[in-house]
Amino acid sequence: MNKGLLQVTIISLLVFFGMNKSNAQDEQLYPYRDVNLSPAERAGDLLNRMSLEDKIYQMMGVLDGTPDRFDSAFVNNPAEMERVFGKGVHSVQPFFEGLRATVESRNNIQQYLREKTKWGIPAIFVDEGQHGLMKPEATVFPMAIGLACSWNPALFEQVYAATAREMRSRGAQWALSPVIDVCRDPRWGRVDETYGEDPYLNGVYAIAAVKGFQGTSSGSIAPNHVAATLKHFCGHGQPEGGLNQAPANYSERTLREFQFLPFQMVIEQAKPLAVMPSYNEIDGVPSHANSWLLTEVLRKEWGFEGLVISDWNAIDQLDTKHFVANNKKEAAMLAFNAGVQFELPNRDYYKNLEALVSEGKVSPEAIDKAVYDLLKLKFELGLFDQPYTDVETAIAVSKDPATKELALRAARESIVLLKNENNVLPLQKGKYPKIAVVGPCANELFMGGYSGEPYEKVTLLQGIQNKVGNTSEVLFAQGCRITENHTISQFNWRNEAIVLTPRETNLQLIEEAVQVAQQADLIILAVGETEFICREAWSKTHLGDNMSLDLIGEQQELAEAMVATGKPVVVYLTNGRPLSINYIHENVPAIVEGWYMGQETGTAAADVLFGDVNPSGKLTISIPKSVGQLPMFYNHKPSARFINYVSQDVLPLYPLGHGLSYTTFDYSSLELSKQKIGKDETVEVSVLVTNTGKMKGDEIVQLYLRDKFSSVTRPVKELKDFKRISLEAGESKTVQFTLDASKLAFWNINMNFVVEPGEFEVMVGRSSADVLSVSLLVE
């Protein structure tokens, strides 16, 4: 008998009799069990032994929670384990349970897959991590839109490395993060998950995030790190009407200049493991069926060599929402042939791949390529040899004091001071005998979408109480509520309708707040949003997009009532999207943008309010005066804001890059190393920045560029570089940037990415609306 056939026969008998409980025999029989071979060799050997059905099961995930909950009862039920895992699995999608239960469940599943299945192929476990691990007993960092205001890529890398470490310690190897959508419509409920409106800044942050998650920029996954997934490719952040998953029917030039750029940057410079297409359509073609997007651009043009995974149930939408397929089988064919290699979160549409192969409608070679890449990854991650994790180690990692300190530092660097008239801030401890902390965001901590639940968290009220100690009496009033059914941030993904607080209830709470505020010498008013009204809208009962950017409910009336007391008022905002706070801007002297600052919100906010930390955050998204100004982004075309509206001007309430400090910075001596360069040459840009105040502070120096005359219209300015610097009082520093062809080029009239000769305006300053400028001639 042929030796290979004999090996297969022996294994088949062992499986049949349920005797394959030891890997020792397998290791002797098959090269893929040999730890001395490379991951590529082991993957190739295993792939060649697998049937088409075996391979297809490696292309589909299962979701912990729907329809099955992989709890202790489940994993100890052999029949249930056989039903779900008996034929293997690509990955297990996350359920939001505690640390100990997570580790034990994952270890049991890996043991079953390793010891009881045909080939012993382990699963990859997946978690979410846009601002920390989305699990209980995990560190919660500032939400992405807030963290982005730090303008600190090094901090980003540290935050995502810490997140990866917590994930890996609990048995996960793959993060469905980062979200790098360029958000150009703040009505969208997923604004808080993004890094803002600028494509270049998103790209810089995405590179840092991938390096943090994966631990390298080579595409390999370092120990204690996880694979990163770029999402959502593409156009997801500017949906029609601001409604989640709505069309993004923009021109190819617009896509390439604004939506594609961050994806291209990170693929070329950090090599993420995976890309996830978006739910929306582009030019009538859903992204999950768009071969131009996923094959021509992503694979052939950019050279992406990683894995392409579906968004959750997005393949389903090809026949249930977009109606470009008649049935599940046709939808599976469209998605796979477009370039979507793996179906998440559950096995459904890709069960049809076997029939599609037999009908000649799907390439078996393409299936082999997808499965080979996945198997190679599983070998590289060490899952075939040691897939288990230790509960006590995971607990130690999740309670690491250094990670808690990192969360505090991230919040301190990300808070933005929007307004500080007459230097109301910083507050002096002891100056105000009684401080009233008022508002729906004062004594509840909202942490944003896709949030974990930390061991400890500090509300704004607690932070202020801790800060002032016995130097002031701190009073509290609810003021009003936003929603009636809000629980902890982690559960905002649950399919629950939003229940707004009745007006009558809030009017009574406002009256009570006025009585409390009248006793105080200072009012700190905390208003904004909860994750229930700014979140991913994924069903008709799980809404999150908004037609208005005004404060929800009676919050403005609360603000008016606080101002009417005549007491000094400071506003602290907690929110996921930019809010049109015109009344507050006009009537309150000091305003702090806090977004969702994570578990250390109260401590960081109090540090800033009382001057122990000098605020340094700057906005990465424009704040409009009204929803009627939309679209509102700084890098608009020259004709976009050429004239005002009848009832309002076209300027933002606060522009991108805006953020104040307790000190002052002077910009001077903007110079170029050359006044004239060739198209392939570089030029050095330098500016002198001086701290002219009395306090040490950090400043974010921003460089913008404008091509003044070109073959197609160009934005009035585009961010091309930035640097975060720290200056002592009275200190000056020369900040330098380099401009090269990559920053001067654009997509010309013929859709070629080139540098056109002509005059460029080089701008450097403290925000997109406050710059010095100098001309550069390119020949």
Contact 227, 206 (CB under 8 A): no
Contact 635, 763 (CB under 8 A): no
Identify the CA nearest to 532 among candidates 563, 467, 486.
Answer: 486
| E strand map for 439-516 | 473-477
Helix (H, G, I), strand (E, B) or coil at 277: strand
Contact 427, 609 (CB under 8 A): yes
Angstrom distances, CA of residue 230 to CA of 53, 153, 213, 234, 278: 29, 17, 11, 10, 10
Contact 709, 757 (CB under 8 A): no
Q: Which amino acid is at 763?
A: M
Identify the CA nearest to 263 among candidates 208, 183, 206, 189.
Answer: 206
How many CB atoms within 10 Å of residue 547? 10
Q: Which amino acid is at 192?
A: D
- The dihedral sign for the CA sequence 91, 95, 97, 101: negative
Determine whether 348 is an active site residue.
no
Q: End-to-end alpha-carbon separation of the chain, Å?
A: 75
Per-residue buried b or exposed e for 627-644, using 16+ beta carbons within 10 Å of the residue's own CB: bebbebbbbbeeeeeeee
| E strand map for 708-769 | 718-727, 732-739, 746-747, 753-754, 758-767
Phi, psi values for residue 200, rounded to 5° = -65, -45
Eight-class DSSP state of 127: E
Q: Is 340 exposed, middle or buried (0-12, 13-18, 19+ CB in 10 A)?
A: buried
Q: Is 76 exposed, middle or buried (0-12, 13-18, 19+ CB in 10 A)?
A: exposed
HEC assignment per residue over 522-576: EEEEEEECCCCCCCCCCECCECCCCCCCCCCCCHHHHHHHHHHCCCCEEEEEECC
Helix (H, G, I), strand (E, B) or coil at 680: coil
Residues present in the chain in total = 779
Q: CA-to-CA distance for 492 and 489, rounded, in angstroms?
A: 6
Q: Which helix (H) or strand (E) holds 690?
A: strand 683-691
User: Which residues, including other chains, have CB under 8 Å from residue 361's CB and lie 6 or more apart?
Assistant: 333, 337
Q: CA-to-CA distance for 127 and 229, rounded, in angstroms?
A: 11
From 311, 373, 607, 698, active-site residue = 311
Identify the CA nearest to 95 among candidates 75, 117, 118, 121.
Answer: 75
CA-only gyration radius of the chain, Å: 27
Q: CA-to-CA distance for 600 and 615, rounded, in angstroms?
A: 15
Angstrom distances, CA of residue 314 to CA of 85, 310, 321, 363: 23, 6, 9, 21
Helices 555-564 and 503-517 pack at an angle, to 10 degrees, of 20
Helix (H, G, I), strand (E, B) or coil at 453: strand
Q: CA-to-CA distance for 738 and 740, rounded, in angstroms?
A: 6
Per-residue buried b or exposed e for 512-531, using 16+ beta carbons within 10 Å of the residue's own CB: ebbebbeebebbbbbbbbbb
Phi, psi values for residue 64, rounded to 5° = -75, 110
Q: Which helix (H) or strand (E) holds 375?
A: helix 364-380
Active site residues: 311
